[in-house]
Chain A
Amino acid sequence: MKRFKIFAVTSVFLLAASNVHAGATLDTIKKNGFIKCGVSDGLPGFSFADEKGNYSGIDVDVCRAAAAAVFGDATKVKFTPLTAKERFTALQSGEIDLLSRNTTWTSSRDSAQGMNFTGVTYYDGQGFLVNKKLGVSSAKQLDGATICINAGTTHELNLSDYFRANKTKFTPLTYEKSDESAKSLEAGRCDVLTSDQSQLYAQRIKLAKPDDYVVLPEVISKEPLGPVVRHGDDDWFDIVKWALYTMVNAEELGVNSKNVEEMKKSTNPDIKRLLGVEGDKGKDFGLANDWMAAVIKQVGNYGEIFDRNVGAGSPLKIQRGLNALWNQGGLQYAPPLR
């Protein structure tokens, strides 16, 4: 009976949650009039709330693009800040409709955890941030170091793999919030902070003396970060996937938020289809025919959101690198609009 009680109590949570998304996610979103989007608990460049509570960042823009697609209005988003540990349960239970929180695409998350990654917003890799005082120039010299990590991330696993492969030892210090890890690094409780390189750059500008810290050259893993939806929700999955592809295609075709109206007069058939001037590719998604134009107009193309949030136009000044378009030496590639 006791065992039953525990089980019953636990199941009630799931029951309560499962009723929320008994219908298709897209129907619920349309009924609510906004998208519930899970973002990070504060990572400059990806999702960060300013003192007025306005969110900005590349992950935030993905949420906005989805809202622009569904409602023609990029502001119809309710953001929920989540720690790395909370994020999947929040998505699985239906607390959020879309998780856009610098989340690494892995096989087990795609399969056993019941989620679908819709694409890659940012190609990243795990690196190390250390205090210059330590005089370390390579991750190979980190034998015996105490390393701060965020709980529930792929970094916990990559870190153990890396040190095992190099037959070196380390002491892990696992925090739930990335701010706590950063504070511990500053106080000297740990020697190294490990995370995605983009996050390390973002964390560094939050430290009191950013110049005292350096990101080591080694990248120890592949971290393709992307938006995530629940398994088995194909309509919604398609919309989120193509909201991102729209922004990538727009950059490739030279359409941006400023010239989108002008481009509607373009004779290029690709651009005509993209902006809903010709054909009914937009309608195929069950949305307005010009939803892609709305995404580009209100959020921008991929190049614009990268530049504004993490690239040259932001304090992070991260190079495009792997995130350049495929025809410019990078990996960002969207399937054709046909």
Chain B
Amino acid sequence: MTESALTPIKPPFWNNPRTRAIAFQVIALIVTVAVGLYIFDNTQHNLRRLGIASGFGFLSSPSGFDILQSLIPYSATSSYGRVFWVALLNTLLVSALGIVLATLIGFVIGIARLSKNWLISRLALLYIEIFRNIPLLLQIFFWYFAVLRAMPAPRQSLNLGDAAFLNIRGLYLPAPQFQPGFSWVLAALGVAIALAWGLARWARRRQMATGQQFPTLSASLALLAGLPVLTYWLVGSPLAWEYPELQGFNFRGGWVVVPEMASLLLALSIYTAAFIAEIVRAGIQAVSHGQTEASLSLGLDPGQTLRLIILPQALRVIIPPLTNQYLNLTKNSSLAAAIGYPDLVSSFAGTVLNQTGQAIECIAITMAVYLTISLLISLLMNWYNRRVALVER
């Protein structure tokens, strides 16, 4: 037999699956780019025809308006670009606080839902069914227009120990004023964190080697609280408080949690917590009951069983849908516009868009920001998911 008889007959190149695949991809790419270019050109043409300004130059012009809440210094002379950062930080603030609160409430309710106590599990069920089934916007309105509007006027504020005041304008808290020596306290806190971490590592190794347990949690807490407090006292209390005071129309000084933020935060976390609770319940129920029985028969108490055996396995089921809830919460925070909380949608895609008239730029920036935030959250959660995932050998 000769060599050539072994070589199969080459099909024509248009029948080669590889060539075809590449050809189709190239065509798809060309069509996408062409449509994109057409849209871009059409937009440019129409903007010019209508005499509407375009480009991102407006970001450096002065805004001329004030904003209710700002985490960074801002005034009406700041630029539109600054408004963007103020609004973005407001969005991130309410989302971050919302995620933490929703997770805490969600886990507690989710675990309570599985409680053997009839009353507790039914109460958890009631919570879930009520808050999961009422539209979020209505819940925001409920907290804002029904609950927080019932607070007294500034002059009849609820006085909480002459330090904090609660009224219709918000919750006024004393603001800490850091004196020069305060950096020592922060340094002490850093040292305490490092020590606690080292302690946990050592305790783990010792338990692996000898089986002896060490009260890591209480020791770490003592370290974390004790060291900074001790330093604080040693360097002579380098912290003063600025108390809110009633002056004219409002309280001045101190920190204020405005009702717009409070109602948004409450509604977001309570609503999302109902979904998280169901996810936690499902995650725990996904762990075979045999695990609990095995753990109990090994002599672990129910608390340890939950913490050491059930939750680590349940987390594998919980994390992916939990990520979705975090994304939802962040995106839902844009409902802020309905009650005047100055978030990204209300201040930037709202007021700035309106004052400049540059709708495409403002909306494009806002969409890009939400996309970025969402991708970052999923990256982070995917990383965490990989860490807790089952490692197969």
Contacts A11-B39, A146-B250, A151-B350 hold; do A170 and B66 have CB atoms under 8 A apart?
yes
CA distance A173 to B149 in the complex (A): 15
B145 touches A173 (CB 8 A): no
A187 touches B168 (CB 8 A): yes
Chain-B contact segment, one of A1-9, A198-206, A268-276, A312-320: A1-9
Which residues of the partner chain B approach A114 to less than 8 Å between Cβ atoms?
47, 50-53, 357
B355 touches A152 (CB 8 A): yes
Chain-A contact segment, one of B4-12, B130-138, B308-316, B335-343: B335-343
B355 touches A10 (CB 8 A): no
Q: List which A1-59 residues lie within 8 A (CB) of chain B.
A: 2-4, 6-12, 14-15, 18
A174 touches B68 (CB 8 A): yes
What's the nearest-Cβ distance from chain A to residue B275, in Å? 27
Which residues of the partner chain B approach A112 to less than 8 Å between Cβ atoms?
52-53, 356-357
Smallest Cβ-Cβ distance to A189: which chain B residue: B168
A109 touches B354 (CB 8 A): no
Contacts A191-B249, A231-B50 hold; do A8 and B357 have CB atoms under 8 A apart?
no
CA distance A89 to B149 in the complex (A): 33
Contacts A11-B39, A89-B359 hold; do A230 and B50 have CB atoms under 8 A apart?
yes
Smallest Cβ-Cβ distance to A142: which chain B residue: B249
Smallest Cβ-Cβ distance to A172: which chain B residue: B66
- Out of B43, B342, B367, B371, name the residue touching A174 (CB < 8 Å): B342
A143 touches B248 (CB 8 A): yes
- Out of A9, A88, A171, A180, name the residue touching B367 (CB < 8 Å): A9
CA distance A7 to B77 in the complex (A): 30
A180 touches B50 (CB 8 A): no
Which residues of the partner chain B approach A4 to less than 8 Å between Cβ atoms?
36
Contacts A114-B52, A174-B340, A231-B50 hold; do A160 and B66 have CB atoms under 8 A apart?
yes
Which residues of the partner chain B approach A85 to less than 8 Å between Cβ atoms?
350-351, 353-354
Smallest Cβ-Cβ distance to B375: which chain A residue: A2
Smallest Cβ-Cβ distance to B52: which chain A residue: A114
Contacts A10-B360, A144-B248, A171-B250 hold; do A157 and B355 have CB atoms under 8 A apart?
yes
- Among A111, A112, A180, chain B packs the most CB atoms within 10 A around the CB of A112
Quick check: is A156 within 8 A (CB to CB) of the other chain? yes
Q: List which B357-371 residues lie within 8 A (CB) of chain A.
A: 357, 359-360, 363-364, 367-368, 371
Q: Quick one: CB contact mask for A121-143 with B, threshold 8 Å, 1 for yes?
A: 00000000000001000000011
Q: List which A162-198 residues lie within 8 A (CB) of chain B.
A: 164, 170-176, 180, 183, 187-189, 191
Of the four ranges (under 10, 10 to 19, 20 to 34, 35 or more), the interface on chain B belongs to: 35 or more
- Out of A15, A113, A156, A232, name the residue touching B42 (CB < 8 Å): A15
A6 touches B357 (CB 8 A): no
Number of A-B contacts (CB under 8 A): 153
Which residues of the partner chain B approach A187 to less than 8 Å between Cβ atoms?
149, 168
B249 touches A151 (CB 8 A): no
- Among B40, B249, B252, B342, chain A packs the most CB atoms within 10 A around the CB of B249
CA distance A237 to B50 in the complex (A): 13
Contacts A85-B350, A172-B66, A172-B67 hold; do A18 and B42 have CB atoms under 8 A apart?
yes
Number of contacting residues on A, CB 8 A? Answer: 55
Q: Chain B at the A interface: mostly helix, strand, loop or mixed?
A: helix
Q: Quick one: CB contact mask for A263-305 with B, threshold 8 Å, 1 for yes?
A: 0000000000000000000000000000000000000000000
B169 touches A161 (CB 8 A): no
B36 touches A171 (CB 8 A): no
What's the nearest-Cβ distance from chain A to residue B78, in Å? 11
CA distance A132 to B49 in the complex (A): 51
Which residues of the partner chain A approach B346 to less than 8 Å between Cβ atoms?
151, 174, 176
Which residues of the partner chain A approach B65 to less than 8 Å between Cβ atoms?
156-157, 159-160, 172
Which residues of the partner chain A approach B145 to less than 8 Å between Cβ atoms?
183
Which residues of the partner chain B approach A146 to less than 8 Å between Cβ atoms?
169, 249-250
CA distance A30 to B53 in the complex (A): 29
Which residues of the partner chain B approach A337 to less than 8 Å between Cβ atoms?
none
What's the nearest-Cβ distance from chain A to residue B208, in Å? 45
What's the nearest-Cβ distance from chain B to residue A322, in Å? 25
B67 touches A8 (CB 8 A): no
What's the nearest-Cβ distance from chain A to residue B255, in Å? 14
CA distance A144 to B244 in the complex (A): 14
Quick check: is A84 within 8 A (CB to CB) of the other chain? yes
- Out of B52, B252, B364, name the residue touching A6 (CB < 8 Å): B364
Quick check: is B321 within 8 A (CB to CB) of the other chain? no
- Out of B49, B168, B252, B338, name the residue touching A176 (CB < 8 Å): B338
B351 touches A174 (CB 8 A): yes
Contacts A88-B354, A89-B359, A145-B250 hold; do A3 and B368 have CB atoms under 8 A apart?
yes
What's the nearest-Cβ distance from chain B to residue A145, in Å? 5
- Out of B39, B43, B51, B340, name the residue touching A232 (CB < 8 Å): B51
Which residues of the partner chain B approach A189 to less than 8 Å between Cβ atoms?
149, 168-169, 259
B371 touches A232 (CB 8 A): no
Quick check: is B153 within 8 A (CB to CB) of the other chain? yes
Quick check: is B212 within 8 A (CB to CB) of the other chain? no
Quick check: is A92 within 8 A (CB to CB) of the other chain? yes
Quick check: is A327 within 8 A (CB to CB) of the other chain? no
Quick check: is B176 within 8 A (CB to CB) of the other chain? no
Quick check: is B64 within 8 A (CB to CB) of the other chain? yes
Q: List which B30-77 residues lie within 8 A (CB) of chain A.
A: 35-36, 39-40, 42-43, 46-47, 49-53, 64-68, 76-77
B340 touches A8 (CB 8 A): no
Q: List which B250-267 residues lie within 8 A (CB) of chain A.
A: 250, 252, 259-260
Quick check: is A108 within 8 A (CB to CB) of the other chain? yes
Which residues of the partner chain A approach B153 to less than 8 Å between Cβ atoms?
188
CA distance A3 to B339 in the complex (A): 31
B363 touches A10 (CB 8 A): yes
CA distance A171 to B172 in the complex (A): 14
- Out of B51, B168, B247, B249, name the residue touching A231 (CB < 8 Å): B51
What's the nearest-Cβ distance from chain A to residue B375, in Å? 9
B337 touches A176 (CB 8 A): yes
A151-B351, A152-B350 provided; 18 other pairs, C-beta below 8 A? A8-B35, A8-B36, A18-B42, A85-B350, A85-B353, A114-B50, A134-B249, A144-B252, A146-B249, A152-B354, A152-B355, A156-B351, A157-B64, A171-B68, A174-B68, A180-B339, A187-B149, A189-B168
- Sort A-B residue pairs by CB-CB distance and give the 3 closest, nearest first: A152-B354, A113-B357, A114-B52
